[in-house]
Amino acid sequence: MADAVKEKVSLPSISSSDSIPDKAKWDRPLEFILACLGYAVGLGNVWRFPYLAYRNGGGAFLIPFFLMLLFIGLPIFFLELYVGQFSGLGPIQAFSAISPFFSGLGYCTLVVITIISIYYMIIVAWAVFYTIVSIAGNLDWGSCENEFNTINCFSGEYDRLCRENNTGDSTDLTYYQQHCVSIGTICIETGFQPYDGKNCLNGSEVIPWFKNVTRILAAEEYFNERVLGRGDATWENWGTIQWHMVGCLALCWFVAFLVVIKGVQSAGKVVYFTALFPYVMLTALLIRGVTLEGAVDGIIFYLSPNWETLLEARVWGDAASQIFYSFGVAAGACVTLASYNKFTNNCQFDAVLVSFTNFFTSIYAGFAIFSVLGFQANLMGVTVDDVAAEDVGLAFVAYPEALLQMPLPQLWCILFFFMLFILGLGSQFAGIEAMNTAITDRWPTLRKSYWKESHATAPIYRFD
């Protein structure tokens, strides 16, 4: 009987040292934490969360977001870290080691992270393009004099010049259809009566003048026409290749390849910068933003609670989707990062620390974003709701337009878009590492030539 028991406990396990692959480990636990932060804290914290917060009840949205963090985000995140650290394997081999029936989960996560990496790197390439043109001083997204601009183009800078050049007319001037026009004239042209120089009169109803006109931000036309080259593209006519974006995309993949060329040994050193630099930039933007006129209005708009929204299912759905989007769970990257931990690492502490840091970073980024949007709204004489945009529009349309109104706009544009580049690239490292780890776990001999294997996976992603 004793021999039988002894034989049973000596059965091989995925946690035994003999079965854990001989591969590199993080030099310090801090490198793993920073790598997880770099992966979790990304572009979604800067543009997606602030928009979802103000759309779903402001401060009230923090309640469902926090609950989704506790009951969905943190448990799944910890589970993936546990599986990766316990097995010492990437997602495919780790789930297969638990049970052959789970092997499909690993392949599914690999498909997910591949798709995410393809489209995510395109967004990073946009940030690179804006960074380059900002360094060159070509801040053309604030101009309505480009060949692609329409008659309805609106520039905050041109509008400011119109008001500054007002010769004393009791009616305020604004930039409208490529001219400085009085608000009273706009009211008449749109079929209403002038009221007080800021509003129009529709019978007995007083309405803001800007509610009756079509204005397209110069930054929006720049993004659609200059950056994306949409033009008249349709499902039948996709348009032409934008070679400037091809170059930026190739540059992004090249930088990512250099970072992961030696796996965690090289990436572990880079994460000190990619994970911490965005906090420096967010702090700089916040300090500058809160000193601008109208910043308080933007912050109040961002946090003012609307408790009735908690009764809407959409609000809770948005909170859950943001948790999945921000944490990047179910994509294999978390399993991969944890697989390079020492077996005795306290991954529970790491999961809690990263989760709550991610939570507070989202809120912190909202202050930096909406303080500047409040300034822009005050400058344009509209509400914050009229200048806030959704998703990419917030990062590449509304915020860049606001930066142009600040002192030293070129400096702030360089810092902001470089921050977006670092945020996006930090999230990409884990995805590329997941692909590489899946291959080296399947063919361990490739670890001796990891840089060749990394170079081989890059073309898979570049076919976007």
Annotation: binding site for Na(+): 38, 40-41, 45, 326, 358, 423, 427
Ramachandran quadrant class, 5 (left: phi over 0; alpha: psi -120 to 50; beta: rest): alpha
Tokens of 197: 């120089």
DSSP string, 88-121: TS-HHHHHHHH-GGGHHHHHHHHHHHHHHHHHHH
Rounded Cα distance between 407 and 422, Å, is 24
- How many degrees, rounded to 5, is the angle at CA 39 between CA 135 and CA 76? 155
Q: What is the DSSP letter of 61?
A: G
- Write out the binding residues: 38, 40-41, 45, 326, 358, 423, 427
What are the Cα distances from residue 289, in Å, to 37, 150, 392, 430, 435?
25, 30, 20, 32, 40
Locate tokens 């940030």: which residue?
127
**200 - beta bridge partners?**
194, 207
First to last CA, the chain: 61
Rounded Cα distance between 54 and 369, Å, is 12
Rounded Cα distance between 401 and 394, Å, is 10
Radius of gyration of the chain (CA): 26
Q: What is the DSSP letter of 151?
A: T
Rounded Cα distance between 4 and 219, Å, is 74
For residues 143-159, b (16+ Cβ closer than 10 Å) or e, as one string? bbeeeebeeebbbbbbb
Rounded Cα distance between 313 and 321, Å, is 12
SS3 at position 199? strand
**HSE (side-chain half, CA atoms, 13 Å) at 446:** 18
**205 - beta bridge partners?**
202
